[in-house]
Structure formats: structure tokens, C-alpha cells
Homo-oligomer: A and B are copies of this chain.
Amino acid sequence: MSLRKRKGIAVVVSGFSGTGKGTLMRELMARYDNYSLSVSMTTRAPRKGEEHGRDYFFVTDEEFEELIASGGLLEHAGYCGHYYGTPKAFVEEKLEEGLDVILEIETQGALQIKKRYPEALLLFVMPPSIEELKHRLVGRGTETEEVIRERILQARDEAQGIEYYDSVIINDDLDVCVKELHDVIEAAHLAPFRNMEFIEEIKEQLYRE
């Protein structure tokens, strides 16, 4: 019996649009039982079928701004006149339950989190090549050429921060990629700074001898 206690990790997942992050996250949740998906907060109105607490926490501008002021958000940003952010309390609650919390966030927000929360693990999902990325975006059949062009421009921005991530995972094959994501998170659990209690206990035992 090991003395090691397992604590949850806040896992930030970013990646260009079209790299299949959504499917990856769903598969990860379905295959393993140590994960919880973070729920974002927004001031935009709920769309049809969206549920408070499942899809988003829907709040007013005042509520959102109060949370910003009190440091209750791990990251936040404005987009199309609305706020979007990650409530800290929800993430910390899940971490305390020992779950690894998955946060799907774009590069800017991811780097905000790393700054405020250096223990977070930052993973970047990449396509095997840009040709393949375009191929996938075209394959969806729903994207106009203009939208694809926008996605490429957006990807240029996102790509600037890759070096600050902990791991770069290539989504070439869904099955392989889900397993790789899981293995990388499991490996992160073995970092000494995530096991200080265990290490201190072993040291104490050595000096008790």
C-alpha cells in the first residue's frame, strides 16, 4: 500500500479549431472515471436547449464583474459584447474531490490560468499538418471559404503560445490521441511537486530509522 495521495489536476486543453477537441474531451470523459469537465460562466443569454450549470453558468454583468473583482475567476475574456470565464470555486471543488478537471480554453485564457495557477497542466492539441486541418474544416461541409480563412488567421494567433504549454498532442487518430491525453495527465501526477506530502513522509521515515 502506497502512502501517495492523489490530488486532482486542473488540465487546460487548447488547440486550433478543427482539431477535434470536443470529440476528444467527450471520449476522455466516457472512457475514464477520473475526469470532470469545467463549466464556464457567461453573461450571454442561454440558447435553446442550454442548461444552467451544465452548458454554462448564466449570470448578469453585475454578478460577473463582482467575481472578477473578488478574484473568483481563473480566467475571463470578452467576446461579442459578452463576458466568458472560468469560475474558480467550481474547479477547486472538483479538484478537492480528487478529480482531474478538464478546461477547454483558448491560448490567451490558458496562459492567464498558468500565471494564476502554476500547478495547472497545459495541453495543446495539434493537427498532424495544416493541410490535414484544412481538409477537416472543408470536410465538415458547413464552413464557407471565408470561415476557413478566419480559422487559419485565428490559428496563427493561437500558435504563438504553444511553447508555454506542457505538452503538444497530435490528433492523428482519435483512439491513440485519447490514450495519449490520458497518459500525459497520469504522468503529470508523478511530478515531485504534486507529491510533496508523500516525499516528506518518506524522508521522515528515513530519519525515524
Contacts and interface: CB of A to CB of B under 8 A. Distances in A.
Interface of A: 1-4, 124, 126-131, 134, 152, 155-156, 159, 162-170, 172, 180, 183-184, 186-188, 190-193, 195, 198-199, 202-203, 205-209
Helix, strand, loop or mixed for chain A's interface? Answer: helix
Contacts of A152: 206, 209
Given A156-B207, A186-B183, A129 B202 contact: yes
Nearest to A152: B209
A133 to B, nearest CB: 9
- Identify the interface centre among A1, A2, A127, A188: most chain B CB within 10 Å of its CB: A2
Number of copies: 2
A15 B167 CA distance: 26
Given A156-B206, A168-B192, A207-B156, A3 B129 contact: yes
Contact of A162 (B165, B169, B199): B199
Contacts of A195: 168
Contact of A167 (B129, B191, B203): B191
A206 B2 contact: no
Nearest to A126: B202
A162 B172 CA distance: 36
A190 B207 contact: no
Given A127-B202, A159-B202, A163-B193, 17 more contacts: A124-B192, A126-B202, A129-B202, A130-B209, A131-B205, A156-B203, A156-B206, A159-B199, A159-B203, A163-B192, A165-B192, A167-B190, A168-B191, A168-B192, A183-B183, A184-B187, A187-B187
